[in-house]
Structure 1
Amino acid sequence: MPSPLETARFGRTVERLTVTADSPARLDDVREAILASTAEVLVLRYPAEHVTWYAGLTGLGRTALFADALVYWHLVAGRGRPPEPSPDLGTRPISGAVEVEDLVDAIFSGYANHYAANPLFTAAQATAGYREWALRSAEEGHCLALHDPGTQALLGLATLDEDGPATEILLAGVVPSAQGRGLYGHLLKGVEDRALARGATRVLISTQAHNVRVQRAWSRYGFEPVRTVLTVHLLR
């Protein structure tokens, strides 16, 4: 599938190919799709249980770069273990472009995702991708901020996909100056409450496998791991 936003951001044609957990696709099908693609960069994602696939991605006229392992966790909505409520913390929708961009830059600058594995892409371009992603969520009304009601200081951000029966957290984090104080759980509580209010049955979230710290926070809150997805960049 063509990715026009990434193509514009990186100045190279980018396509995405995703094999879901319930897809009947075989490695031969994936190889055929790769051979048919004319994109300079093809971002392939597939379930980690297909451990033999990576070796089969060679010999196709492309350089295969292992980019990351993405770990998905889920929470049954209503079964979270949130921290004690605090009068100094709350969550609210946020849509202002400047506020969203400032939060993204503070929270996610320097965070290494699959783009960092590709020498064709720069760290600045990757951060720009976070901004685009967050701004799109904010424009669609799917962005939540953690704030101090007294000072109105913005302390955290969560961007959401709320189109289906599950609420998926796309980005979530707390600003560096507020980290280490147990505030992340309050942000998760705000997301869970919002999911319950719209009738969602579960909350999904994912991160790179190396991000062990945040996975510990998810486990404490009540999330459980459900699957791992591998990302490979195939370069012409």
Structure 2
Amino acid sequence: MDKPRILADSALDSARFGIKVVRGCVPAGTAEQEVIDEVEASDAELIILRTAAGDSGAIVQLQRGGWPVIHADTLVYYGIDLTTLARRPLPPGVRLATTVDRDAIREIAERSFTGYRSHYAANPLLPADKVVAGYVEWANSRLAPENSGGCTWVVTAEDRVAGFATCDLRPDRGAIEIVLNAVHPRFSRRGLYGRLLEAILQHYAAHSYLELGVSTQLWNYTVQRQWARAGLSLKRAFATYHLDRRLRLP
């Protein structure tokens, strides 16, 4: 039986940036040569590869072999066991989003992620406006009625949507992951993000979900402090690399 591939086509990234993009996360225990062979066999202009933080052997070998490598970010994952969560009433001003909220979520994403130092921002060949457009698309992606495996929550202030959290749900209720979240800069430092997170934790604990996970870039200390105050703890970390053929010297 063939081994599962590490890299897969990233259709959304390819369409957005007008190049062929593949991406993947190296499973624990994968031999360095397997990673190298798959990268070498790819015809993509851009390969986005994640490895466990500190596991850089294959990346070093690829760099020695002439590949231009950008260490684009370090992603940290936090989580919490919802079965141990102390139950409290849901805080006010938080609700599930609907398609009516699409424009408000778009504005929050545009304001919050313009200039944000994600792994995309580390690559000088990826246009900044297209990176932001990707975040807007991502922010609204779980509003589609056909996306039964996801949802979006919003927190309100001054009679408007002030922040959002886009989530993926496992069908067996094993876990929920917050995949993207932000509060409009105008409403920062008002406790709205903490209220939004608390509502999500309480709602899914009450609906028998087992755990919640969320991730961010290592440098984003502010949100990590909020997660720690809410009872989440650091679970794992991944390094993100961009291997971009277009950066190769002629």
TM-score between the two structures when normalised by the length of structure 2: 0.85
Q: For residues 89-110 of structure 1, what are the alpha-carbon distances to aligned partners after superposition, in whole Å with 9 as ceiling and x for unaligned?
A: 3233233332321221132222
1:147 pairs with 2:156: yes
Cross-structure match for 1:201: 210
Quote the Cα distance in structure 2 between the aligned partners of 1:65 and 1:46: 13
1:104 pairs with 2:113: no
* 1:181–1:81 distance in 2 versus 1, CA, 3 Å: farther
TM-score between the two structures when normalised by the length of structure 1: 0.89
Alpha-carbon shift at residue 111 of structure 1 (Å): 1.2
SS in structure 1 opposite 2:238?
strand
Identity rate, percent: 33
Confirm or deny: 8 A CA contact 2:96 2:151 kept in the other structure: no
* 1:51–1:83 distance in 2 versus 1, CA, 3 Å: farther
The code of the aligned residue for 2:196 comes to L
Confirm or deny: 8 A CA contact 1:35 1:60 kept in the other structure: no
Q: What does 1:1-236 correspond to in 2, within 5 Å?
A: 1-20=8-27, 23-79=28-84, 87=92, 89-96=93-100, 97-139=102-144, 140=147, 142-148=151-157, 151-163=158-170, 165-236=174-245
* 1:14–1:82 distance in 2 versus 1, CA, 3 Å: farther
Alpha-carbon shift at residue 55 of structure 1 (Å): 1.4
Aligned residue pair count: 231
Point out the more displaced range, 198-207 or 91-100.
91-100
Gaps of 5+ in 2: 1-7, 246-250
The code of the aligned residue for 1:71 comes to V
Quote the Cα distance in structure 2 between the aligned partners of 1:83 and 1:154: 23
Compute the RMSD of aligned alpha carbons.
2.1
The code of the aligned residue for 2:55 comes to H
* 1:202–1:25 distance in 2 versus 1, CA, 3 Å: same
Alpha-carbon shift at residue 219 of structure 1 (Å): 0.6
The code of the aligned residue for 1:39 comes to A
Quote the Cα distance in structure 1 between the aligned partners of 2:162 and 2:126: 29
SS in structure 2 opposite 1:106?
helix
Confirm or deny: 8 A CA contact 1:71 1:209 kept in the other structure: yes
The code of the aligned residue for 1:92 comes to L
Alpha-carbon shift at residue 3 of structure 1 (Å): 0.6
Q: For residues 66-120 of structure 1, what are the alpha-carbon distances to aligned partners after superposition, in whole Å with 9 as ceiling and x for unaligned?
A: 1000000001115457999755x32332333323212211322221100011011
Confirm or deny: 8 A CA contact 1:79 1:222 kept in the other structure: no
